């Protein structure tokens, strides 16, 4: 595990716990990070441990870690996974995040997310993303309509994700909040170890 730190406590102010922005900490709580009603979720929604995953669809480290995260969540069976689209690398990253979040309105966020993460090359374009989503069975006509109809809500969610990442003092993608632990790039064994450590904390 390359980086692992502890939150000061479940109710601690984020900036004090992790050195993020004091101004943002005044308006961003840990509960905001864990329980944004608009944030897509996966795994066991009633699980005893929550993992929050901040990622970007043009991040090679996110792509490498994604199958191991999905496997760890699946094998454990008692983890609630919260997705935080944090498109910080390219304009195409923003486009991909908007498309994935629009797919959420047709119940296809995870399908879209995994399809975008599965594009195995750097510098993924908007066209690459559209092709991957269509190939994964996302209804592209409905996606376009939902993207337009929910533009303000999607923009607001991405802005909240950005504020939360800033309040946490995050430096880049991927970053995972695993219970009280904050970790960066992990493999399957790293996820399993962090999950076990989080449950002991």
Each residue's pLDDT tens digit, 84-107:
999 999 999 999 999 999 999 999
CB count in 10 Å sphere of residue 162 = 18
Q: Is 24 or 154 the better-scoring residue by pLDDT?
A: 154
Instruction: State which residues form the domain around 53.
Output: 4-200
Write out pLDDT tens, residues 176-193: 999 989 898 899 999 999
Q: Where are the beta strands (DSSP E) in the chain?
A: 4-6, 41-43, 49-55, 79-85, 175-178, 181-183
What pLDDT is attached to residue 167? Answer: 87
Distance CA 44, CA 74 (A): 9
Q: 119 Cβ partners below 8 Å, 6+ apart?
A: 57, 63, 128, 129, 132
Report the percent of the chain where pLDDT is more than 70: 87
* Mean per-residue pLDDT, 139-150: 98
What pLDDT is attached to residue 7? Answer: 39
Residue 2, CA atoms < 13 Å, CB-side half-sphere:
10
Q: What is the CATH number of the domain that holds 151?
A: 3.40.30.10
Distance CA 44, CA 76 (A): 9
Distance CA 178, CA 30 (A): 13
DSSP label of 38: T
Indicate whether 6 pLDDT > 60. Answer: no
Distance CA 185, CA 122 (A): 17
25 — pLDDT class (breaks 50, 70, 90): low
The answer to whether the beta carbons of residues 180 and 198 sit under 8 Å apart is yes
* Mean per-residue pLDDT, 20-41: 79
Domain total in the chain: 1
Residue 106 has φ and ψ, to the nearest 5°, of: -110, 15
């Amino acid at each position: 595990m390359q980086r692992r730190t502890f939150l000061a406590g479940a109710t601690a102010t984020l900036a004090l716990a992790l050195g993020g922005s004091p101004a943002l900490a005044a308006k961003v709580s840990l509960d905001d990070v864990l329980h944004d009603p608009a944030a897509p979720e996966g795994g066991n929604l009633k699980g005893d441990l929550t993992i929050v995953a901040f990622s970007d669809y043009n991040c090679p480290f996110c792509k490498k870690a994604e199958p191991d995260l999905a496997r760890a969540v699946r094998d454990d069976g008692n983890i609630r996974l919260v997705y935080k689209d944090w498109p910080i690398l390219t304009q195409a990253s923003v486009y991909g995040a908007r498309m994935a979040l629009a797919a959420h309105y047709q119940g296809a966020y995870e399908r879209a997310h995994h399809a975008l993460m599965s594009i195995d090359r750097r510098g993924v374009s908007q066209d690459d993303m559209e092709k991957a989503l269509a190939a994964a069975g996302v209804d592209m006509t409905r996606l376009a309509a939902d993207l337009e109809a929910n533009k303000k809500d999607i923009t607001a969610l991405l802005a909240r994700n950005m504020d939360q990442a800033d309040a946490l003092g995050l430096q880049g993608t991927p970053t995972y909040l695993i219970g009280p632990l904050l970790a960066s790039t992990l493999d399957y064994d790293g996820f399993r170890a962090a999950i076990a450590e989080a449950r002991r904390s």
